[in-house]
Amino acid sequence: METIAAIPKYNLTEEQEKKLILREYRSLLRSLKTKLKKGDKELVRQAFELAAEAHKTMRRKSGEPYILHPLAVAKICIEEIGLGVRSTICSLLHDTVEDTDVTLDEIEKEFGSEIARIVDGLTKISNVIDVNASMQAENFKKILLTLTDDPRVILIKLADRLHNMRTMESMKREKQLKISSETVYVYAPLAHRMGLYNIKTEMEDLAMKYMEQDTYKDIARKLADTKRERSRYINEFIRPVKEKLEKAELDFAIYGRPKSIHSIWNKMKKKGVAFEEVYDLFAIRVILDSPPEKEKEDCWKVYSMITDEYTPSPERLRDWLSNPKSNGYEALHTTVMGPQGKWVEVQIRTRRMNEIAEKGLAAHYKYKEGTGDESRFDKWFQQIREVLSTQETDGVDFLQDFKTSFLAEEIYVYTPKGDVKMLPIGSSALDFAFSIHSVIGTKCIGAKLNHKLVPISYKLRSGDQIEIITSNKQKPSEDWLNMVVTAKARNKIKDALKEERRKVAEEGKYILQRRLDNIGAAFSQFNIDELTAFYKLNSPLDLFYRIATKALDLSELKEFKLLGDKLEPPKPLKPAEIKQEGAGTMQPKKDAELIIFGESSDRIVYTLAKCCTPIPGDDVFGFVTTGEGLKIHRTSCPNAARLMANYGHRIVKTKWAKNKEISFLTGVKIVGLDDVGVINKITNLISGELRININALTVEAKDGLFEGNIKVYVHDKEELDELVARLRQLGGIHAVERYELDDV
């Protein structure tokens, strides 16, 4: 669902529009041809006519007729996710209940209860996510409840989101940022978890196109520039492998596939390298046509031929044939040393595995007959149901838990009896204990890993065999929450801590009652609330607990006045002058010039976020915090996606105004050869030629290389970009990049 505006940006007559809609509808039927059974075509037509009629007065932001959106979503469901007739009908109707006069009862009467249930699920999700941004995380559970009820709901929702991402040009910038953040934060990981790699990749790329425009364009341009030499290299790499495969009479396809812009950018950030140094800009893919009983054997045969030709990197072998991922992904990945000393990633899989990798869940169920494999998905759904039924935390916490528990890559560990347990990456021995049983978790004091003793915080790796050691004297403590990543463990620990806290708080309650009696005040709800507010605590339970643990000594009670038996708190002192946060990051103590778009055009007090230290010229947005006013973040800030996805309603559109009087502190990291006079060259360039003030300089030399961190005052991003470009041109400099100030 999206906001509708009747501002046509293209000029088609009514007649041309009708033809366009009909053309798209016929194209949809062609895609569906192989899946149509008797009577299906009539049902699809009925759904199309109902949707076209319901949406006939509505237009998308671009001005085109709204019905083109449900048609496009239905087409994505068929062609890119592999869904069938029922899902096509649901896709066509997915916005009708939400946006038009059509009711769920009408849909049920016309199309039956199964379709009505899915459309209902899609309507709930629309209400949750698209209409009210602030409630997104809070209601995320509803989506998952529907997902575990019928996975098609989430698959159609992913198609809906993908089409909205593909057609976002006409939207306002802040809407583009909000939708992109939400997509990268929730939908792309969800697509990945459903096994839809192509959709996940495209979503990440499209989100990056809006959130980090300059970097996206830069990498896209460089990919286009290097396309020809890449193709030449791929052909050179493939030639000898192809000959071997043909000789072995295997039925195969082999080709090179470029990596996504988003994954290349991630590599550049993770490894701290420039585009030119990212070696795996593409992957070679071998797709085999093998009968089910020979799939594994043939994949290993191909692996053997490739590694005969090129030397493999032993630690880069990934065997998902023996242990498929929980989203059904099966393949063999290896990285080999190709011609000209370049590392090349090779992915080997069969046609069936390839369809599962591209179509995910839908293909998985198509192939599941006669195998026990679908239980991996079912287990995953079961785990989600379990967490949903016991979950009490607020939505934002829940969303975070869900991401780490259910959307992360997984590892496989073994029980002492040899049973396999699947856990998210980053899980500890304590997570494993809770995954067996909550009682074992709460009593866990340590573990034996491959027969060696390890602490409960020990991070597990795939292939570990683990045995839990328990004691009846053990009780969970607050720091356990930092040791676990699974939602089940977190919930059980929180429950146990609450129970423990309640017991301790009883003692605090008794102490407070005595103290209030002594001064003649009543032990009433009014007085308890006054004290809770005075000490800035969240609840009376917190107050009692702190009194019991002596974190509060109640010495301020003597400053309270008594009105009858009611307490009146002392008047607060006048606050001393508060030093403005962020002032230290600027040279003159004067505000930066930012244009803040909002109801009021007055100057608004804001601070610069320390997590990403924005400077003029950076793409920025304002975020209204609770208690600290407006904070300015870069759109590429590590926290940006989380803030925009969870708290869309608190985002304020901002951009920089030109102001050359103010300098901002930022950092530059330089790596180069440790040569005589190199530091002199650097400081001469910065201070002498570019007249930029240096705030701090640290240099470490080791084994002939040096790494320098320089803090400089710049006026804006242009000045910083010029500095980085000029430093890169100096002899002996290997890499130059901006770093966040709290990184060092």
Task: Give the distance, in angstroms, between the CA of residue 246 and the centroid of all CA atoms in the same chain.
Answer: 42
Type of residue numbered 631? K
Instruction: Confirm if 122 and 94 have CB atoms less than 8 A apart.
Output: yes
DSSP state of 467: E
Backbone angles phi, psi at 530, to 5 degrees: -60, -45
First and final C-alpha spacing in the chain: 44
Q: One of 17, 24, 99, 740 is an active-site residue; which one?
A: 99
Distance CA 718, CA 724 (A): 10
Bridge partners of 711, per DSSP, are 667, 696
Distance CA 424, CA 484 (A): 10
- DSSP string covering 64-89: SBTTHHHHHHHHHHHHTT---HHHHH
In terms of C-beta density within 10 A (0-12 exposed, 13-18 middle, 19 or more buried), how is residue 486 classed?
buried
Angle, CA 204 vertex, CA 200 and CA 206 arms, to 5°:
115
Type of residue numbered 411? I
The count of C-alpha atoms lying within 13 angstroms of the C-alpha of 495, restricted to the half-sphere facing its C-beta, is: 15
212 catalytic residue (yes or no):
no
Instruction: Confirm if 305 and 245 have CB atoms less than 8 A apart.
Output: yes
Q: Which two tokens stand for residue 318?
A: 């990934």
Exposure string for 63-95, b = 16+ CB within 10 A, e = fewer: ebbbbbbbbbbbbbbbebbbbbbbbbbbbbbbb
Task: Identify each DSSP E strand in 409-457 by its residue range.
Answer: 410-414, 420-424, 444-449, 452-454
Backbone angles phi, psi at 522, to 5 degrees: -80, 150
Distance CA 159, CA 394 (A): 28
500 catalytic residue (yes or no):
no
Instruction: Confirm if 139 and 154 have CB atoms less than 8 A apart.
Output: no
Give the dihedral of Cα atoms 622, 624, 630, 635; nearest 10 deg.
-20
Element (H, E) at 358: helix 351-359
Q: One of 17, 40, 98, 507 is an active-site residue; which one?
A: 98
For residue 478, the SS3 value is helix
Distance CA 347, CA 334 (A): 7
Would you name the residues annotated as active-site residues? Answer: 98-99
